[in-house]
Chains A and B, each alone.
Chain A
Amino acid sequence: MARSRRRMGRTDPDPRKGRRRSADAATHPQPPVLDRSELDEICHDGDPLRGQLTTMLLDQGRSAITALTAAIAAGDATTIQRTAHALKGSAAILGAKRLAAISSELCDCAASNQLADAPRQLTVLEHVYDLTTVAMSPNGPPVQHY
């Protein structure tokens, strides 16, 4: 899958944003990448349903990133909003809270047609998606906070 992997803080065009994010993180803690209790309420660890739901979410996320990349390049706020909204809901219900949060941010910006920050938000989303993928893997780490 072609996607760019960027580490937050080094390739960000505005270093100040990275430092701000760090500062924000200190004052406004980010939601966890994965709240396993949400999934636990749906199905237990060994339940095949868990794996199916995880796969569904990650598949949706991958498709969403592709769609968002094209939509942001085209300035298509409607597609951005719809795609981000859908991903938000799916992520939230399975406890992928950070993915849900960034999707919500992107959705709100698209809803108000303010797309200037959309590329950056997409970058973040991609990064969070990666973190979520790791967290949701069967042997993934416990809930991560930044």
Chain B
Amino acid sequence: MGSTRLVITQPPAVARGLSVRADSPARSVSTKKESMATDQLVAGRDLPSALLADDEVVIRTALRAQLKDEFAIVACAEDAGSAIELVRRHRPDVALVDIEMPGGGLQATTGIHGVSPETAIVIMTSDERRSSVLEFMNAGAIAYLRKDAPLHQLTARLHEAITAHRAVLVRADRQRMATKDGFRAAFEQAAVGMAIVALEGAEAGRLVQANAAYALMIGREVGDLIGANLEQWTHPDDLPDGVTDPLANLARESFERVEFEQRYVHADGHVIYALGTAASYVDEDARRVAILQVLDISERKQFEERLEYLADHDVLTGLFNRRRLQEELGREVARVHRYGGHGAVLALDFDGFKFVNDTLGHAAGDELVASLAGAVGRALRDSDIVARTGGDEFVVILPEAEEQSARLVAEKLLSVIRNEGLVLRDDRQARVTTSIGITTFGAHDHVTAEDLMVEADIAMYDAKTAGKDRCWTYVRDEHRRERIAVRQGWLERLRIAVEREQFVLHAQPIVPVCSNGVPRFELLLRLADGRGELIAPGAFLYNAERFGFIQSIDYWVMSEAVKLLHEYHAHGRDLALAINVSGMTLNEGAIGEQLGLLLEAHRIPEGSLVLELTETVAISNIERARQLAFDLRALGCRLALDDFGAGFANFYYLKHLEFDYIKIDGEFVKRLPETRADQLVVKAVVDIARGLGSDTIAEFVQNDETLAMLRELGVGYAQGYHTGRPGPLDLVLPALEATDRRA
């Protein structure tokens, strides 16, 4: 028999507990019996539709008979596969699924839920093992039913299942709408640029949606972006290829989420650096799309570029810094070693730069450095490399230069600095020159970049020692490494000491032998070693002169002495201080000018400052020294010739320079009472001094007997342990105030 259309003239019973029995009014409706020969029936319009899935014909037949009055049985299935297909075709309101059937009841449940989420699934079971029931619920079933349940429970349960499932669908739909609304609000109002891009088909790469922040970032209107391809505003150099394209990788499902950095071109033409993430999903139209979140990181990029620049460049001059110089020099050395050729390194250090900073201010010093850096750069070839490696230190790399050409370049730079090394401030001016050290290297020289920088540095200091404003070429010899090591040690130590003013002054009394007078003291220099120990000048003065620090040290001592004298003078106390000045400082010639500026700022009584000249370094230009001596005395200073008798040049200096004091070397004083020769020498010196209008000071006075003899011989002053040991200023100098704790 063929299929029979089921007509029900009474609405289905939906109340729980309604018992539908054979003689109940609910069953006394006019129905047409359905055929047993086919399981394919046509649903009645007013009844909820149902599908029965059970492999047992008895159960299918019984259920169909039980339900036919209240449900339109649209189909019956014997296995999971056909159940899924029939549900997909008929979309029934409810499907009854046997918990165990061919193909698996669970598979049937999952499949039915997948093809028709709106169909309520009720599983039928002969037992109620909770674990298996829960498994089916998780797969999409809304209820379960015992196969032997009474009919009224069966139909009521099915109606309830349909109602409950519809409520779930409505709720899910509302949640989806709420989520959608929430997403829309978040998307549109987000401060970060967001866009949705199609990943597949003809629309791949085109925007489906964009928010205001994204449009603003690239200088366009939201409306203009919909349907537009991302490539329209992607920087041409950043257009991705098939391998690196983040969206293509998403489309291929190679990744679930990608990060990318790209440049965009703003509508006004400027470049934007963008950092973004993209994740793919399937939208409500079943399209695979990517949601992009994009940040404008242009500021950060600029900051990074600035940092990179600063890592390699000196801020003041724009030249390379020491770090970058070492890299460049390393490359040049490697190139020469590998491919042959040669090169040269020049180390430049301004002469008198510290004075510029101290007297005209650091702003003037910076201005001078910047100006001279520019001048040096203009004097070199494009292939030459210049770096600022310290306050007033520069290094130049001359590729393919040998010694002769390196010297020519050095001479050129000397001239440039000489001509342009003047700085003016108000009515004051200061001038610098430069000392240049040269070292060269070739393919067969076993040197590193570090070695070359040290060699050039040593040569530069040699230039300073020789009188500054000149160049000097380094000569490699067998003692090179030792020199470099020792030099590195003291050089660094002294450099730090000068920078941080780690020197300490002690004082030793110089007492008048015959009469009272202004208290006078010699200031003695010590170096603090950082561990609380003080190093005597004999240990470091040679290297200080060697490496060109002596002028800075002398200037510091002179400055401290002037300030002390000024302070005592301001308190109405008399004091005279003697300081030691090296021949190198005199040779430099700036001391007169420096002292003049100091005395302008700190007035002191005439004659209160005595400069003691030592013979440790020869005065290279006696004429200049004579003029300097004249200038210093004009400023109110006095000069003393130290260690007279110890060397052979003393008489020469006496002849050419005017001194106020002659300090008799201690060698002639310490055994004076018992040594006739010493007595004759001292007597002679006193006579010479008197003849020249100078006074005498005897050093190394160790006892009363010596003091008495000095008095007898006519020496003016005595200095030694007997008359006063050297000590800290606050212990040795007279107290400034009556309440001062010093003695």
- A residues engaging B (CB < 8 A)? 38, 40-44, 49, 52-53, 56-57, 60, 82, 85-86, 88-90, 92-95, 97, 100, 104
Contacts and interface: CB of A to CB of B under 8 A. Distances in A.
B148 interface: yes
B150 A90 contact: no
Nearest to A35: B148
Given A93-B63, A104-B126, A38 B148 contact: yes
Residue from B57, B59, B98, B126 having most chain A Cβ neighbours under 10 A = B126
Contacts of A43: 22, 65
Contact of A44 (B22, B59, B62): B22
A82 B66 CA distance: 25
Contact of B58 (A40, A41, A44, A60): A60
B147 A92 contact: yes
Contact of B62 (A42, A82, A104): A42
B62 A93 contact: yes
B22 A86 contact: no
A40 B22 contact: yes
Residue from B23, B57, B58 having most chain A Cβ neighbours under 10 A = B58
B58 A85 contact: no
Interface string B358-386: 00000000000000000000000000000
A58 to B, nearest CB: 10
Contact of A92 (B54, B61, B126, B151): B126
A100 B146 CA distance: 13
B36 interface: yes
Given A41-B22, A86-B56, 10 more contacts: A40-B21, A49-B33, A49-B36, A53-B62, A53-B65, A92-B126, A94-B62, A97-B148, A100-B126, A100-B148
B574 interface: no
A56 B58 contact: yes
B126 A42 contact: no
Given A56-B57, A56-B58, A94-B58, A41 B126 contact: no
A92 B148 contact: yes
B20 A53 contact: no
B393 interface: no
A41 B148 contact: no
B100 interface: yes
A42 B67 CA distance: 9
Contacts of A60: 56, 58
11 contacts: A38-B150, A41-B20, A52-B36, A53-B62, A60-B56, A85-B100, A89-B98, A89-B126, A93-B59, A93-B147, A94-B58
B631 interface: no
Nearest to B65: A42
Nearest to A56: B58
A53 to B, nearest CB: 6
Nearest to B67: A42
Residue from B21, B62, B65, B147 having most chain A Cβ neighbours under 10 A = B62
A92 B66 CA distance: 14
B65 A89 contact: no
A42 to B, nearest CB: 5
Interface of B: 20-23, 33, 36, 54-59, 61-63, 65-66, 98, 100, 126-127, 146-148, 150-151
Nearest to A90: B58
Nearest to B125: A89
A86 B58 CA distance: 10
Contacts of B21: 40-41
Residue from A41, A60, A95 having most chain B Cβ neighbours under 10 A = A41
From DSSP, what is the main secondary structure of chain B's interface residues?
Answer: loop
A88 to B, nearest CB: 5
B151 A42 contact: yes
Contacts of A86: 55-56
Contact of B126 (A44, A57, A85, A95): A85
A73 B65 CA distance: 37
A86 B147 CA distance: 11
B61 A52 contact: yes
A26 to B, nearest CB: 25
A49 B56 contact: no
Given A40-B21, A41-B151, A88 B126 contact: yes
Contact of A41 (B56, B66, B98): B66
A74 to B, nearest CB: 21
Contacts of B56: 60, 86, 89-90
Contacts of B36: 49, 52
Contacts of A38: 148, 150
Contacts of B65: 42-43, 49, 53
Contacts of A82: 100
Contacts of A49: 33, 36, 61, 65
A52 B54 CA distance: 18
A49 B66 CA distance: 11
A104 B147 CA distance: 13
A51 to B, nearest CB: 12
A54 to B, nearest CB: 10
A95 B150 CA distance: 10
A125 to B, nearest CB: 16
Give the top 8 A-B pairs by smallest Cβ distance, nearest first.
Answer: A90-B58, A92-B148, A41-B151, A44-B22, A56-B58, A42-B65, A93-B62, A93-B147
A11 to B, nearest CB: 30
B148 A90 contact: no
Nearest to B23: A44
B158 to A, nearest CB: 15
Nearest to B27: A44
Contacts of B57: 56
Residue from B21, B54, B59, B151 having most chain A Cβ neighbours under 10 A = B59
B58 A57 contact: yes
Contact of B66 (A42, A57, A90): A42
B173 to A, nearest CB: 36
Contacts of B33: 49
Residue from B22, B63, B146 having most chain A Cβ neighbours under 10 A = B22
A89 B66 contact: no
Contact of A56 (B61, B66, B151): B61
Contacts of A53: 58, 61-62, 65
A137 B21 CA distance: 22
Nearest to A58: B58
Contacts of B146: 92
A93 B146 CA distance: 9
A83 to B, nearest CB: 11
Nearest to B63: A93
Contact of A90 (B22, B59, B100, B151): B59
Contact of A93 (B20, B23, B58, B100): B58
Nearest to B151: A41
A56 B36 CA distance: 12
Contacts of A56: 57-58, 61
Nearest to B21: A41
A63 B63 CA distance: 22
B22 A89 contact: no
A88 B36 CA distance: 22
A120 B21 CA distance: 38
A57 B60 CA distance: 12
Contacts of A90: 56, 58-59
B71 to A, nearest CB: 14
Given A40-B22, A42-B66, A89 B147 contact: yes
A137 B328 CA distance: 109
Contacts of A44: 22-23
Contacts of B126: 85, 88-89, 92, 100, 104
Contacts of A40: 21-22
Contacts of A92: 126, 146-148
